[in-house]
Structure 1
Amino acid sequence: MRRWAAVREVPLPGGSVHAVVRVGRTVRRPATPRSGFVRDLLRHFERHGWPGAPRHLGSDEAGRNVLDYVDGHVAWEPVQPEAVHSDASLVRTARLVRRFHDLTAGTALAGDQEVVCHNDLSPKNTVYRPVGGALRPVAFLDWDLAAPGQRIHDVAHVCWQYLGLGGGADVTGAARRMRLICDGYGMADRDALVATVLWWQDRCASGIEAAADAGDPAMVRLRAAGAVGEVRAARRWVAAHRGELERLLG
């Protein structure tokens, strides 16, 4: 275990599940049962020269994972610069996802699945920096939920989270932007995409409920903050417009 000099710890935005702090040019994240897999995944990306994820630097004296700090704008606030939600940023996001999927396809990390999925892609876990004069996504953070999976899992999660699929969304506009994401990724078969969004929403709501019922403090806080109700409301919207979304995606 590498020893790190004591530097002031600064809490980073988020932290609804894990307390994450910045220490100088590093980020400290509590260890989890998935830490070994995440370490191997991030080091795999580093060996291949992919800059779209933090580098894993080891562990500190408290047993926390030490990652390098990725400079840029993370879209935590409800109101964001227009460039964050632009079509160009959506396409670039999809291409970033395709790149790390391709880097893990056929590896031991993916096991018997297609690729390794991030499983929590959202603007809040994305770093944006100026590219060609406008903010564009350059890296993804928070790989704690990464695991072997199917490509469509991450693509559907991008559609849900980056487009805000739910009440108040415009169906035609949402379908157009879902097509942009699929085109950017290079996903021709979109038949199961809306069904996979619904699968994610079911999984998210039931997962928070089950963990909160079991006494997980972070999930208790999320449920108390209304997260389950928000996800279920979003699912009702997607289910109500499923046929139209699938038709427009075709």
Structure 2
Amino acid sequence: MSETHLPGGFVNTVVRVGDTVRRMPGQRAAYVHELLRHFERRGWAGAPRFLGLDEQGREILSFMDGHVAWADAQPDGVASDESLARAAELVRECHDLTAGTPLAGEEEVVCHNDLSPKNTVYRGERLRPVAFIDWDLAGPGRRIHDVAHVCWQYAGLGPAVEDPAGAARRVRLICDAYGLQERGEVVEAVLWWQDRCRRGIEADAAAGMPHAIRLRAGGVVAQVRACHEWVAEHRAEFERALR
């Protein structure tokens, strides 16, 4: 069957073959495959199905039909309050399905660890989130880690935000929709993610990893540093909104 390259991949080449997606396995593929099998056994539709390996050694995943928000400019529905709330609800479903399982180990849950609109499938006339893709970085963690990543990426926390008070409201909306009870660490966790992301790109680029070199050359390190500085500047406003 013919192969069609899918846009948006920064690390891996991803192609569509019929109703499947093919990509080379990541370093932790065995864990990710078991996680996707777990979601399938539980009947959760929020992640693709793992269907095995093809003759080239590529993963075969079910194709998740819909709109993936990989481009910078997006329809209004992607950033709507309703979409933010639904994304948070999907994260809660994922976490609740993995809490207390061997996949979570000694941690609270399994975290996706790379949640963003670029890794989200939207459907419907109003474009609501229905699934997450690209689970390569998934692993045991704390609930707040994924929630904080959602706050950063889906609320777009950074210098491009013209209304910090509005952004703080959206962060609270995400935490409300998830049902997060303890919120005192949310802003600190956002800052932790931003610092970790910047340092990770810099380290991988220094190690000669092509995707990180491309990201650094494209100004992503500077962008993430600016986002960290912006969140730190407005930290008190976000913390007030979360109380």
With the shorter chain as reference, the TM-score category is over 0.9
**What secondary structure does 2:22 align onto?**
strand
Deviation at 1:16, TM superposition (A): 1.4
In structure 2, distance between residues paired with 1:150 and 1:186: 14
2:44 maps to which of 45, 50, 54: 50
In structure 2, distance between residues paired with 1:245 and 1:100: 26
Deviation at 1:77, TM superposition (A): 2.0
In structure 2, distance between residues paired with 1:210 and 1:238: 23
**What secondary structure does 1:93 align onto?**
helix
Counting only pairs closer than 5 Å after superposition, residues 85-234 of structure 1 correspond to structure 2 as 85-130=79-124, 133-169=125-161, 170-234=163-227
Aligned alpha-carbon RMSD (Å): 0.9
Deviation at 1:14, TM superposition (A): 1.5
Residue 27 of structure 2 is aligned to residue 24 of structure 1: no
Identity %: 65
Residue 50 of structure 2 is aligned to residue 71 of structure 1: no
The aligned length equals: 242
**What secondary structure does 1:61 align onto?**
coil
In structure 1, distance between residues paired with 2:30 and 2:49: 14
Deviation at 1:168, TM superposition (A): 3.1
Per-residue CA deviations over 1:47-77 (Å, capped at 9, x if unaligned) read: 0000000000000111111100000011122
**What secondary structure does 1:54 align onto?**
coil
Match of 2:56 in 1: 62
1:48 alignment partner AA: R
Deviation at 1:37, TM superposition (A): 0.5
In structure 2, distance between residues paired with 1:223 and 1:63: 30
Structure 1, unmatched stretches of 5+, are 1-6
Contact 2:8/2:71 (8 A) holds in 1: no
**What secondary structure does 1:106 align onto?**
coil
2:76 maps to which of 79, 82, 91: 82
Dislocated runs of 4+, deviation >3 Å: none
**What secondary structure does 2:103 align onto?**
coil
1:46 alignment partner AA: E
Structure 2, unmatched stretches of 5+, are none
**What secondary structure does 1:134 align onto?**
coil
Residue 28 of structure 2 is aligned to residue 34 of structure 1: yes
